[in-house]
Chain A
Amino acid sequence: MAYDAGYGGRDYGGGYDDSYDDRPEFRDGFRDLQPPEPGFDSTNYVPDVVKSFVVYLYRHIRQKNVYEIHQMYEGSFQKLSERLFKQSYWPAVEMIAPYVENDHVFCLLYKEMWFRHLYARLQPTLEQRCDSWDNYCNLFQVILHGNVNMQLPNQWLWDMVDEFIYQFQSFCQYRAKLKQRTDHELALLKQVDEVWNVIGVMNYLQALIEKSMILQILDEEKDGNVTFTATDGYDYHGGTNVLKVLGYFSIVGLLRVHCLLGDYQSGLRALSPIDINQPGVFNTVIGCQITTIYYYGFANLMLRRYLNAIKSFNQVLLYIFKTKQYHQRSSQYDQILKKNEQMYALLAICLSLCPHPKLVEENVNNLLREKYGEKMLRMQRSEEANFDELFSFSCPKFVTPSLPNYNEPLVNFNQDAYRLQLKLFLSEVRQQQLLSGIRSFLKLYTTISISKLASFMDVNEPTLRVALLMYKHKTHVINDDGSVLSNADVDFYVADDMVHIADTKVTKHFGDYFIQHISKFDEIINDLDQVQLE
């Protein structure tokens, strides 16, 4: 998958090196860069360097200088957070508003960053959670109805959607831990039903998709009228990219929310306007690409479409393998690594249920064996404990979206959603237990009678016939259009009482091998050409 840096939307290189201190907003020097004393109220004091920061950011936004906005958003903001506000709040929006002409939209954007910083470094209080919700509502209202005329970096727009859903997830978890809530919190919770309400969240995402007309835009691109993707979503004609790109990222957002609720089918259907096998705007932000494939793969796993899951995990894991060094200084690096590990675990699960070693690229396969080689062997022998462990490690943070019943005795129900998904997943694993036994026997024969196979497997004939039927059912997936697709690596048919195994010669793919090496050698030659001899 070719990575296209795109206009202003670069998310690697630039801004991550120490020449960063030369940036204009830091020109006033780091005089105020002593971290505040503990107990010092950072919200009410604006250090000069923060004043410069907001002034410059405001100016760049007004001038639609996307590259500069991105540098400040990704780099300066992180740097200042790290040095000045490691464990404290950025100055309150009221304190910086005078420096930016009290611009309403800028303040909403600033507050969005303010809350995101809070959630990342500190524990938000219930009031802060409510305030953040209000801010998102205001921000989205203005974008949906206010004719906003800005160009913002894709990274920022993705982060908005990503954080919006993250805070929703966090709130559901928070509200579900009723036993840990103080009386004051419970009293407030009962009054704020609409805060982070799942219906509100989903309707905002839906509204962004609808108002931006992104579905029509993507549809037109299928006919070859590629304008949106060609510019990475940016508008080169003096217009705004905000609504369109937010609409686009909301498609991925819906996929994620549906998965958090356990509705995998609807998630995949929501994602369907985006073709993940083609380059698209989702590739321009690595966080988005990873999130998309992670949830896509997970949904396919739960739908038993193992081949789709394996192929997509393989692709993105290879991409991360090749490019993660460029993201080391990024604020998202930890997230990237975490999702990377989770996807290896999911890939291990998929391959244990549906062995297809040829689908996994060499480097990915090596890492996979390193991390989970032994566990995969045990899973192929149907040891449930390993499935449980890997699933629990790598599954999304499922939520219970409904309001609690505050009148019943207080319990913590934050694990309920996860437990249900785990339970259903494990029962599927258990149903498939016999399959690996059948698989290994079938690989040894070209024909074998039912009676002989039954005696080898230590079951009676009727049981074996039933197991063979189940093998066929479980390995044949029904696509959305009703066609049948086999994901079996070893296949057979039964004629009366003989089992005939399909020819499963491992065909060496010489063609692929040569192509791969031709490309590799070409790369080496290019590298050599660039070497300058002294």
Chain B
Amino acid sequence: MPGAQVPITIEQLVALNPYNPDILPDLENYVEEQVATQTYSLDANLCLLRLYQFQPARLDVRIVARMLVKALMALPATDFNLCMFLIPERLQMEEPFLTLATLAHFLETAHFREFWDEANRNRDILEVVPGFERAIQGYAIHVLSITYQRLPRSILAEAINVEGLSLDKFLEYQVNNNGWTLEKGGQLVVLPANEDNHPVLRKSSADSIPLEHVARLFPVLG
């Protein structure tokens, strides 16, 4: 096509020409862009990690650290683990990767109190990525929502690292917007019903037979 060159997005680059070391600087810039604009792209970041794997000398520790923080923010998705599969073991033994792995471990095992303590000790790694705190709180609420129907306030406080007046404000917001209710003078939080905290709601497939199975019999039944 003559004339104007249509600007190609990073996503298009990753889809069409991913095994090309020339796009490495673009992908690095894209990580910074994700941090700045609070967006996220797992595919682009995996593509970059792959290129780093092919040419380890070009690996930028700061960029990888940012990618991992973004991946933590994607929990409950397993993005952090996916990234770790691609990072050389030697590097994982150094900082900041050791700390990030510890943080990931706490989150994966739902040790929220230990997580927030450790996160507080490492604000320098985390504060560079805006939205981190909110993302982790979102993850904590997700896990609580699939586990609890009725949740003691203290457990919530510990999980999202919010107490006192801030917690009251937070609860007020959730009550007004997300269907939460409070009982026992605010000491008990009632979470909205979903398939996972109301397992009985799960569709019973015990007695239904899928059509494909019966279809197998049609030749026999004539």
**A478 in contact with B53 given A419-B89, A466-B110 (CB within 8 Å):** no
Residues of A contacting B132 with CB < 8 Å?
none
Contact B19 A469 (CB under 8 A): no
Residue A531 at the B interface, CB < 8 A? no
**Which of B88, B198, B220 is in CB contact (< 8 Å) with A420?**
B88
Question: Which A residue sits closest to B152, measured CB to CB?
Answer: A496
Classify chain B's interface size: 35 or more
**A304 in contact with B43 given A198-B54, A502-B199 (CB within 8 Å):** no
From A19-27, A86-94, A109-117, A487-495, the one touching the partner chain is A487-495
Contact A261 B147 (CB under 8 A): no
Task: Give A468-494 interface residues, CB cut-off 8 Å to B.
Answer: 468-470, 472-474, 476, 478, 484, 486, 491-494
Residue A532 at the B interface, CB < 8 A? no
Residue B66 at the A interface, CB < 8 A? no
Complex: A428 Cα to B82 Cα, angstroms? 12
Contact B196 A486 (CB under 8 A): yes
Task: Give B88-115 interface residues, CB cut-off 8 Å to A.
Answer: 88-89, 92, 105, 108-112
Residue B146 at the A interface, CB < 8 A? yes
Contact A512 B209 (CB under 8 A): yes
Residues of A contacting B21 with CB < 8 Å?
199
Residue A224 at the B interface, CB < 8 A? no
From B117-125, B168-176, B210-218, the one touching the partner chain is B210-218
B172 CB, min distance to chain A CBs, angstroms: 21
Contact A402 B55 (CB under 8 A): yes
**A470 in contact with B56 given A478-B77, A495-B150 (CB within 8 Å):** no
Residue A401 at the B interface, CB < 8 A? yes
Residue A83 at the B interface, CB < 8 A? no
| Total CB contacts across the A-B interface at under 8 A | 143
**A420 in contact with B19 given A269-B43, A466-B110, A515-B214 (CB within 8 Å):** no
Complex: A388 Cα to B155 Cα, angstroms? 36
Residues of A contacting B111 with CB < 8 Å?
466
Complex: A515 Cα to B215 Cα, angstroms? 10
Contact B200 A303 (CB under 8 A): no
Task: Give B1-57 interface residues, CB cut-off 8 Å to A.
Answer: 18-21, 42-43, 46-47, 49-50, 53-56
Contact B81 A428 (CB under 8 A): yes
Residues of A contacting B92 with CB < 8 Å?
420
Question: Which B residue sits closest to A492, measured CB to CB?
Answer: B199
Contact B109 A424 (CB under 8 A): no
Complex: A302 Cα to B50 Cα, angstroms? 17
Residues of A contacting B214 with CB < 8 Å?
515
Residue B62 at the A interface, CB < 8 A? no
Residue B165 at the A interface, CB < 8 A? no
**A518 in contact with B50 given A431-B109, A493-B147 (CB within 8 Å):** no
Residues of A contacting B105 with CB < 8 Å?
427, 431
Complex: A9 Cα to B195 Cα, angstroms? 47
Residue A149 at the B interface, CB < 8 A? no
Residue B197 at the A interface, CB < 8 A? yes
Contact B88 A469 (CB under 8 A): no
Residues of A contacting B150 with CB < 8 Å?
494-496
Residues of B contacting A229 with CB < 8 Å?
none
Chain A, residues 185-206, CB within 8 Å of chain B (1/0): the string is: 0000000000000110011001
Contact B19 A416 (CB under 8 A): no
**A493 in contact with B43 given A303-B82, A402-B53, A473-B108 (CB within 8 Å):** no
Residue A315 at the B interface, CB < 8 A? no
Residues of A contacting B202 with CB < 8 Å?
486, 491, 502
Contact A206 B81 (CB under 8 A): no
Complex: A511 Cα to B217 Cα, angstroms? 12
**A511 in contact with B207 given A473-B76, A494-B148 (CB within 8 Å):** yes
Task: Give B131-168 interface residues, CB cut-off 8 Å to A.
Answer: 143-144, 146-152, 155
Contact A493 B198 (CB under 8 A): yes
Q: List 11 A-B contacts (CB under 8 A).
A: A303-B78, A416-B89, A424-B84, A466-B109, A468-B147, A473-B108, A493-B149, A496-B150, A497-B152, A515-B213, A515-B216
Closest 10 CB pairs of A and B: A502-B199, A469-B110, A507-B206, A262-B85, A511-B209, A202-B19, A470-B110, A491-B199, A495-B150, A472-B147
